[in-house]
A and B are shown apart, each in its own frame.
Chain A
Amino acid sequence: MNPLVLWFHKLGSPPTFYRLAGRLLPWCYGLALVLGAVALYGGLVLAPSDYQQGDAFRIIFIHVPCAWMSLFVYAFMAVNGFIALVWRIKLSETLAMAAAPVGAAFTFVCLVTGSLWGKPMWGTWWTWDARLTSELVLLFLYLGVIGLHQAIEDRRQAARAAAFLALVGIVNLPIVHFSVTWWNTLHQGSTVRLFGPSLIDARMLWPLLTMALATKFWFAGSLLSRARVDLLELEGGKDWVRQVALAADAAPAPPPEASA
């Protein structure tokens, strides 16, 4: 069999994933912190003041990457949910469910930072325009997925039901993204474009993009550590989990690689 396919297949096995995730974790968090620090330095210190908003605009370096992540994580959750429903792959179920709280957190931070930004800029903590409303709906969708997942006893059935709900709610994603073009909104339109020039100064753009990368690594780290814990819980009775637990007991330092 093709070695790449074989490796992919092995990756789906919980003990292999557990080990691999454990090795990647510190790198993910480390990169997230380093990139985040660089981005914040670039954004808070190096970037010039906005000609209109003065220094208040600097919250953009938290707000926008969190907004991007709130959508990205939902898409990640939906894709894994789809794989879990169609091919019943256990790892996809775990990844989808582990992503939900992280996505919800990003959405929450986006809404809060947006609110803090809105007060000086628009004079109000909140307005019911299309972008904000659809982002709030996104938060409720996340909470619904998490709630449904908690409410069902059988863990695998819970993951499948919550994944199904996530897929039903995916219609909200294009609504959030295009809300600023489809409706008249108080929220500004898109300034950072994937194709074509962005309407933002280069000295503000690079910290923004660096922070976006940092949040991606943060997401990866958070996801991997949650997924590891979820897998231990899911596979509770199995041998490899027992070995991990024994290894953790034996060595007070971080456990050596499990031989399972």
Chain B
Amino acid sequence: MVTGMSIPDPIDAPPLLEARGLTFLRNEEPIFGPLDFALRPGEVVLMEGDNGAGKTTLLKVLSGLLEPGAGEVRLRGEPLTLARLSHQVALLGHLLGLKLELSALENLRFAIGLGGLRAGITPHQALKSVGLEGYEDVAVRQLSAGQKKRVALARLLLVPAALWLLDEPYANLDREGIELVNRLLELHARRGGAALITSHGAYAYTSGTPRRIRLRAPGQPAQELAA
């Protein structure tokens, strides 16, 4: 159940995503310390941290793939369970989720079959806007790493989701690609969506002043950096 994407939520609505006292344990060891933050529609949050700080794990916990060791995640005020995800969350992981033997178009059509199609855009248009016009029928196996990433970004354009969780979205992209990601994030924010992206330092989001949260060693709460 997704509210109209072009109308911002009223101020007193619960935040789109909220983490309270969130930790994750592996073999009884905490991967990241208690985390508290909230994400409202229109916000882009950058999660920074060194390699191994637990950024990917955090995204998986926020998406519902992993259960938190302690604390909770709330989506629009409701506790997050996989059953409640329903078209609200899109996760772009390190592994892109593309079948190598299928073409870009076939992959996108499958994603649409699974997750629905946003109004006003077609797979062809999406591929064009990510700069892959002419590559629709090429097997993904034959695309470069950057081109594969662009197909995944095209999927973000097509499948409706209020919350984007992007793991290292700038990886493998050239300068044009980085600008593309920024444009997509801007568009998403303007439409009332929210995004949480991870990066291990040299972030490149230049639009506005995104909130930055730095993940530190377990036991130390994450540090919200001044913009």
Binding site for B on A (CB under 8 A): 153-156, 234-238
Contact = CB atoms under 8 A, between A and B. Distances in A.
Contacts of B27: 153-156
B175 interface: no
Contacts of B28: 155-156, 234-238
A156 B28 CA distance: 9
Interface string B7-28: 0000000000000000000111
B29 A237 contact: yes
A89 B39 CA distance: 32
10 contacts: A153-B27, A155-B27, A155-B28, A156-B27, A156-B28, A235-B28, A236-B28, A237-B28, A237-B29, A238-B28
Contacts of A238: 28
Contacts, number: 13
B26 A154 contact: yes
Contacts of A156: 27-28
Give the interface centre of B26, B28, B29 by most chain A CB atoms within 10 Å: B28
A245 B161 CA distance: 52
Contacts of A236: 28
Given A154-B26, A155-B27, 11 more contacts: A153-B27, A154-B27, A155-B28, A156-B27, A156-B28, A234-B28, A235-B28, A236-B28, A237-B28, A237-B29, A238-B28
A24 to B, nearest CB: 25
A155 B28 CA distance: 9
B106 to A, nearest CB: 34
Nearest to A88: B67
A86 B153 CA distance: 38
B66 to A, nearest CB: 11
A153 B27 CA distance: 9
A161 to B, nearest CB: 15
A236 B27 CA distance: 10
A156 B27 CA distance: 7
A154 B26 CA distance: 7
Contacts of B26: 154
A238 B26 CA distance: 14
A155 B29 CA distance: 12
Q: Considering the complex of A and B, which 8 residue pairs feature the smallest CB-CB distances, nearest first?
A: A154-B27, A155-B27, A154-B26, A237-B28, A235-B28, A237-B29, A234-B28, A238-B28
Contacts of A237: 28-29
A238 B27 CA distance: 12
Interface string B27-53: 111000000000000000000000000
A237 B27 CA distance: 10
